[in-house]
Amino acid sequence: GENVEQHPSTLSVQEGDSAVIKCTYSDSASNYFPWYKQELGKRPQLIIDIRSNVGEKKDQRIAVTLNKTAKHFSLHITETQPEDSAVYFCAASLGYSSASKIIFGSGTRLSIRP
């Protein structure tokens, strides 16, 4: 079945530096790739997503890139701030398929050092 691998499991960066989290997926039919941020004790919330018809999407300090050939996508956070500290989950799905579900990666705990 579909599998999503996420690396690294933990990441610590100096405030102001960039952070990169990488994911690979197994099902080449996947066409929707969301990223969720979960703060301690809270619900996951969508921060950015990308569909397979584009290679890159940016929203202020956050960007996601997609390489369909390699079945690989990444989250890039620039100019990191203390409030970026959280667990980040990547995910992949078949999009608007009646039988689809979203497969989540195992998560990356990002810590921003002051």
Partner 1 sequence: DGGITQSPKYLFRKEGQNVTLSCEQNLNHDAMYWYRQDPGQGLRLIYYSQIVNDFQKGDIAEGYSVSREKKESFPLTVTSAQKNPTAFYLCASSIAGDEQYFGPGTRLTVT
Q: Does 62 bind partner 1 (CB under 8 A)?
A: no
Site string for partner 1, 30-49 (x = CB under 8 A): --x-x-------xxxxx--x
- What SS3 state is found at 83? helix
Q: Does 113 bind partner 1 (CB under 8 A)?
A: no
Closer Cβ to partner 1, 36 or 112, answer by number = 36
Count the residues of the shown chain that bind partner 1, applying the rule CB under 8 A: 24
- Residues 65 to 104 in contact with partner 1, rule: CB under 8 A: 89, 93-102, 104
Q: What is the DSSP string of the chain?
A: ---EEEE-SEEEEETTS-EEEEEEES-TT--EEEEEEE-TTS--EEEEEEETT-SEEEETTEEEEEETTTTEEEEEE-S--GGG-EEEEEEEB-SS-TT--PEE---EEEEEE-
Q: Does 111 bind partner 1 (CB under 8 A)?
A: no
Instruction: Give residues in contact with partner 1 (CB under 8 A).
Output: 32, 34, 42-46, 49, 89, 93-102, 104-107, 109
